[in-house]
Amino acid sequence: MNYLFSKSIGAVATFAAMAVTTAAIPAFAVTSPDFPMAGFATQNGGTTGGKGYSEVTVDNVSDLKSYAKAGNKIIYVKPGTYMGPVEVGSNVTIYGYQGAIIAQPTSGSAMKLSGSKNVIIRNLKFKGVGAHDDDDEDCLQVNHESKNVWIDHVDVYDGHDGNLDITNASDFVTISWTKFSYTSASSGHQFSNLIGNSKTKTSDRGHLNVTIHHTWWADGVVERMPRVRFGKVHVANNLFDSKNASYCVRAAIEADIRIEKNVFIGVQKALDLYTSDGAITAAQMISNYEENVKKQQAGTGTAFTPPYSMSLTDVSTQAKAYALRDSIKLYAGATLPDPGKTQTVTPASSSSEAASSSSVAVSSSSVAKSSSSVAQSSSSQAVSSSSQGEVVSGTATLTKHGSGSAKQEVKQGESIEEFYFTVAGATGATVTGLPDGIVGTMKGSDFYISGTVAQNAEVGAYNFTVTTTGATTNATKSGTITVVGENMEQGTTSLDVATVAPHFNVSVDGRVLTVQGATQAAYLLDAQGRLITKVQSLGSENSITVPRAGMYLLRVGNEARRVIVR
């Protein structure tokens, strides 16, 4: 659909269909959308945690330790402080309610993964005992060949030795939407993250594949954001603005680091090349944003190409970099909703179809049922190369994989984030309802949805359906690709503002935001800080039509509102 801006002369629209936060950022508490897993945790068969196992809710440390160590469980942790160490087994998801804190004891870790496989940890705070240079343990440890680990939306601070280290041939780890910091409880060794703990640990070669994205190294962190030996590490779309930082990323012996589209503000040094222990494989700086970085350091070598696809925010201008910065500041840390709330997450799933990395909390019907935004597809049909005459006895299945969501938004002339369905019990698959330029292709037993939207594709929502062929009972999966105009202006300005008395009001009627009393340009951002649209000139009252239900940030001058459209 087109984004509409029109003068409104009617009465103020009803507030019944929305919630508007009236304090300026960062005064309000936010609830983050449930962004899907990305990065190395999606590899090696994927990471599903406790999916398929029973759920349990714990409210005491004894039960938490018992269930976590046993594994094979989805564990919800009630608000409160739980003293570690909590040892984590395999095939387990640990998901905290708001206010759930795992505390580090005087000696030992708050939580430790040692040889653990297939683990998801989300929405928890990890409170360290304070960083001191006396060689104790890290607040959160991933150790001893742990594999397929997703650590998401956690807040780790004041770790005794480090905040979170990944060592001893651990592998296929993603850290996302996490905040690392130190407070006045720490008096030294404020070195946050180590990946590879020894120059002599050659057994780490071929392991330590780690992705860190949308993570914030905040005040108090001095070094190791992260420091890497031997590993392949993708550091992408992160925020580095610790006033205490001496360096941010350090590459050491045989490190292969891809440092891509990050935001470095007011730090001494974005990258440090440490060659005293041996040669660095690569530490490539790719399209980062640096502001007031005192010591410039070019990268070295050409880093690895990730085996996965991941949507990254452009930070090529200050406006775009600040938009990402503000989004990370809002959502990094333990900001996910409690289990069972309106924005219920799927903590055990590695292929959530509820949201994509480029769209916000889209309900399953919010686009499909909007009569003003459903585009007509070209009725193209992609047919598998398998024989269409063959019939397989039984019921077919389609299982979604890939980092791309089945519900995503893309501009005219741009590529979608690829995803695919594994076909079982059938001879192939077809797809209908895709926009021009997007196709379905059968590759072995997988049916891929990929391509570039045609420049002249009609703007709107395309509701597609994938259907298996050749089974006694065929399966279907559906999704929505929303095409938006290519001429939308990019970039915004900083949301790093003080709390001030409100000077404009916002109301919602369906998908229409009505802005009153604004005297400056208005910026509408999605939950990742990406600009949806900008209204240059505002009168006493203006309307903005949003593309779908979800959470938005509306900024005018140095005020911002969180707006939820249901």
Catalytically active residues are 224
Residue 487 contacts by C-beta under 8 Å, 6 or more apart in sequence? none
Task: Return the structure tokens found at 380.
Answer: 């193209």
* Strand arrangement of the beta sheet that strand 171-176 belongs to: 55-58, 73-77, 92-96, 117-122, 147-152, 171-176, 209-213, 232-236, 256-260, 282-286
Q: Please write down the HEC assignment for all residues of 465-491.
A: EEEEECEEECCEEEEEEEEECCCCCCC
Supply angle C-alpha 44, 46, 52, rounded to 5. 135
Q: What is the DSSP string of 370-412?
A: -TTTBPPP----EE-SS-SS--EEEE-EEEEESSS-SEEEEET
Supply angle C-alpha 317, 319, 321, rounded to 5. 70
> In 282-435, which ranges are continuous DSSP H helix?
318-331
Nearest-angstrom CA–CA distance, 181 and 33: 22
Residue 441 contacts by C-beta under 8 Å, 6 or more apart in sequence? 382, 447, 448, 450
- Beta-strand relationship, 18-20 and 559-565: antiparallel
Helix (H) or strand (E) holding 165: strand 164-166
What three-state secondary structure class fits 305?
coil
Contact 36, 355 (CB under 8 A): yes
